[in-house]
Amino acid sequence: MLPSVVFILWQLWKNHNLVSFQNQSLSFQQVFAVAAHHQEDFLSAQKERPLIHNMRLQKQHWSPPPIGMIKLNFNAAVQNPSKTCTTSVIARDHLGNLKGWHNTSFPGISNPLVAESLACRNAIQLSASYDFRKVIIEGDSQIVINKCLETSCPQEILDIIRDILSIKSTLKEVNFNFIRGICNGLA
């Protein structure tokens, strides 16, 4: 069964898009009410027809961090016609409890590599702002993850990676992990 946080985050994302693209917004009470309604619909549908699991997909899922660490999943999406990217970060503990989240839009960014780099930077900035000292930063951009672990970097993301590594040096323990997109769905 999916936790309520999934439906709340989904509705927050939809509200963000509503603000970004239609200049409209729901109140937090409305967001939570709609999220609860969607969760009820989902649970009702599950009772009516059992979900058939694909064995390959069952093996790929979000895994919690070790006790004492926070896992931050990041992701980015690019809207080419408007040349805008949106980044998302979600932070969870070893029990899967929500510890923080952040969404940002960047006008003028249409390069997916730059967008994913900005999302990774937002993840480590969120770590520092919440004073998470031991973190796992996880995203579905293997290039960005690899560049956070290396010294060489493409020029287009060099400054962003430098920011990430600078913030990393202020934290006690930081691990960067690549995760397939299907496992990074919440971010």
pLDDT digits (tens, 9 = 90+) for 34-82: 777 767 766 665 564 444 444 444 445 778 999 999 999 999 999 888 8
- 0.85 surpassed by pTM: no
Has residue 153 got a pLDDT over 50? yes
Sequence ranges of the domains in the chain:
4-52, 70-184
Fold topology of 70-184: Nucleotidyltransferase; domain 5 (3.30.420)
pLDDT, tens digit, for every residue of 155-185? Answer: 888 888 888 888 888 888 888 888 766 555 5
Residues 6 or more apart whose CB falls under 8 angstroms from that of 78 comprise: 84, 85, 109, 110, 111, 112, 115
Q: To the nearest 10°, the Cα dihedral for 20, 24, 25, 26?
A: -140
- Amino acid letter, residue 119: A
Tell me the torsion sign for CA atoms 6, 42, 18, 85.
Answer: positive
CA distances from 181 to 108, 150, 163, 186 (A): 24, 22, 24, 10
More confident residue, 139 or 48: 139
Say how far apart CA 169 and CA 156 lie, in whole Å: 22
Residue 59: φ, ψ to 5°: -75, -20
- Amino acid letter, residue 3: P
